[in-house]
Amino acid sequence: MHTTLLGVDTTQLLKGVLDLAVLAVLRDEDGYGYDILRRLRSAGLDDVGDASVYGTLRRLFQAGALTTYVVPSESGPHRKYYALNAAGRAQLDASGKVWRGFAQTMNGLVGEQTA
């Protein structure tokens, strides 16, 4: 079940910021698909879908923002890890600035609600 905000399904909001969220999750530590999904959900993005995250990882990799490497696993299939590279860090920095400006604008528009 997806949360709605002002009649908008939050999954629609996530689509616009998922690239930024994935880059931010990978800022300090590389991760494999399910690990990245778990970190996003732990951060509060409960509605993020598996397919959306895996698609975002593929797209960011194809765009040159991520590198990958495979780590063998003794208990299951090998895991493909994703890591930020210089282009990904630059994209995270630029997208973060845009997000902070947008959030500041929206906070100003919405303001604090008082009862």
Q: What is the pLDDT along the chain (115 residues), one digit of tens a residue?
A: 445 554 556 666 777 799 999 999 999 999 999 999 999 999 999 888 899 999 999 999 999 999 999 999 888 889 999 999 999 999 999 999 999 998 899 889 988 665 5
With 0-12 / 13-18 / 19 or more C-beta atoms within 10 angstroms meaning exposed / middle / buried, residue 12 is: exposed
CA separation, residue 21 to residues 10, 49, 71, 78, 97 (Å): 14, 13, 24, 25, 13
Give the predicted TM-score (pTM) of the model: 0.83
Rounded-to-integer distance, Cα 72 and Cα 78, Å: 4
